[in-house]
Structure 1
């Protein structure tokens, strides 16, 4: 299949794809763009943000800022006032948040209550815990994951973007990311729904702490670099950016197969696509993906504008893009 044939196939079958970037054997071998996007433009990568946050937490662990992910979350928020009668929160650890086994009060994500507050970290902590206690059940959440970026601020005294730019993005050649704080609910909505190219921004709360579960805008080239960093066990051009131990932990299954999530398994905010074939992914709504195939030494990154319920992107990568690149 020629490049033009692949370009047209994607236009017809996956019309919301904006950019693709591919690394093979450690080298950038393919990139393409659609919908007026340029290679350097950014796109909201949605929940793939979570996997980037996992890497930032790992850097904080490597640097000794976080003593152990088995520490109670409240160890790092000594001024937080626990709600009367709430006991479970005392036992919630950083590991629970990384593995999506943290318990919360209520069902679903409390978007309005958290995102309309002046302090998203405290608002998220208010939902942590509950009467059921620790069950170790997989409980996928997005907005309250903000606790992790709040934690990064507490241990580093740096905003999320400053921490990420200093310790992850700049060292691997990703353009500086800046804060973006929508002032209204409508602006917040448009941040997600808008289909046009974005700059390198990260949605943040009024305290300039970036959202942990979504909100990061990167290019497919940026995402491919991050995927290649992970494939190389945290090493970039001979420099260890993240410890290999942390990368291995991110990719080690912490759950059984999850029927509600296409029988995938979960690591530390990374999806285990196939642990036998050693394929892993950062997955965001609308088909935003960092696909890592250790066996084939292949990384595929895709950015996409908002389109709900895109569920076949991994199959598309493995059926069309990977064979095209590996032939």
Structure 2
């Protein structure tokens, strides 16, 4: 990419993708582009929204690799022996970790009760209370509150907080500065974390359990490291952080939303121009990985509803230049 191409891309970003805060592009382990917008810098973290889910997926994979979890076909309730199931609730007994990873667990709601869950004293229990209902196990139902159960599983399986487990097994080995716990205790704090320009840390509930569906703040460069870990089949500086088998299985179609395949909390992108997989977060936060092109694209964005598709940006304006 020459200077004119950089300038043309940045004009498109300013005109059509105005809430982008940062973009970093890695090609064959080399940085080929890095730019920050709207007053952000290389050192600023930003809330990456549902990209958090893909980080949790990696942590579940590491817990399986380390033997804390036998396999992802274990029943969810095995990890919550004190949880009391309401009378008549049979379906919940059959839901597995795999169902949570592939968004194929049923829930008792039509629209996600974010405020109810995130203003409760125990977000994992509140999410467990929503499992089941009239839906069918195996049908795709995207759930952010439901993903919280995975954090509860990690905590109970490892005997450590999610942050401590992530710090020991993911952040420190990859030279990513661990975040601190960020408490959110009511609706106003929840909305402030979503909308404030500068946020940092990893949200925890009143029990000290980190969020799984949202709530992690990261730098774009650290997001590219995470994508690079997957691109390199789980190896970082010669160390196997995450098994290649987990990554391979994560990127197979395990479920499908309309025409888009879904792996283990990763979206699978399949077309002639833009093939690979992506961690996608609300507002336009993205980690896109193309094994074919040996490419990682990380994009952070400030909160904004109904933003333009970042995969379209990558497909139409970035890939042709790389």
Aligned length: 318
Q: What is the CA-CA distance between 1:278 and the residue it aligns to?
A: 4.4
For structure 2, the residue ranges without an aligned partner over 5 or more in a row are: none
Q: What is the CA-CA distance between 1:12 and the residue it aligns to?
A: 1.9
**In the alignment, what sits opposite 1:51?**
54
2:317 and 2:134 map into 1 onto residues whose CA distance is 47
2:267 to 268, 271, 293: 271
For structure 1, the residue ranges without an aligned partner over 5 or more in a row are: none
Q: What is the CA-CA distance between 1:197 and the residue it aligns to?
A: 2.6
User: For 1:306, what is the secondary structure of its paired residue?
Assistant: coil
**In the alignment, what sits opposite 1:34?**
37
Bigger shift: residues 40-49 or 105-114:
105-114
Q: Indicate conservation of the 8 Å contact 1:143/1:211, yes or no.
A: no
User: For 1:197, what is the secondary structure of its paired residue?
Assistant: coil
Does 1:145 pair with 2:141?
A: no
1:169 to 160, 168, 171: 171
2:38 and 2:223 map into 1 onto residues whose CA distance is 19
Q: What is the CA-CA distance between 1:68 and the residue it aligns to?
A: 1.1
User: For 1:152, what is the secondary structure of its paired residue?
Assistant: helix
User: For 1:143, what is the secondary structure of its paired residue?
Assistant: helix
Q: What is the root-mean-square deviation in Å for CA atoms of aligned residues? A: 1.5
Deviations 1:194-243 (A, max 9, x none): 2x2333x1111011111111111001111111001001111111111000
1:131 and 1:274 map into 2 onto residues whose CA distance is 32
User: For 2:283, what is the secondary structure of its paired residue?
Assistant: helix
Q: What is the CA-CA distance between 1:145 and the residue it aligns to?
A: 1.2
Q: Indicate conservation of the 8 Å contact 2:252/2:263, yes or no.
A: yes
Q: Indicate conservation of the 8 Å contact 2:100/2:146, yes or no.
A: no
Does 1:295 pair with 2:310?
A: no
**In the alignment, what sits opposite 2:161?**
159
User: For 2:54, what is the secondary structure of its paired residue?
Assistant: helix
Does 1:16 pair with 2:19?
A: yes
2:7 and 2:211 map into 1 onto residues whose CA distance is 37
Deviations 1:108-163 (A, max 9, x none): 2121321111111111111111244x441100000121000011000111111111
Deviations 1:238-270 (A, max 9, x none): 1110000001111111124x33xxx21100000
Structure 2 counterparts to residues 1-327 of structure 1, below 5 A: 1-132=4-135, 134-194=136-196, 196-199=197-200, 201-256=201-256, 258-259=257-258, 263-274=259-270, 278-324=275-321, 326=322
Q: TM-score, normalised by structure 2?
A: 0.95
User: For 1:286, what is the secondary structure of its paired residue?
Assistant: coil
Q: What is the CA-CA distance between 1:107 and the residue it aligns to?
A: 1.5
User: For 2:265, what is the secondary structure of its paired residue?
Assistant: coil
Q: TM-score, normalised by structure 1?
A: 0.94
1:312 and 1:176 map into 2 onto residues whose CA distance is 29
1:154 and 1:311 map into 2 onto residues whose CA distance is 39
Q: What is the CA-CA distance between 1:4 and the residue it aligns to?
A: 3.5
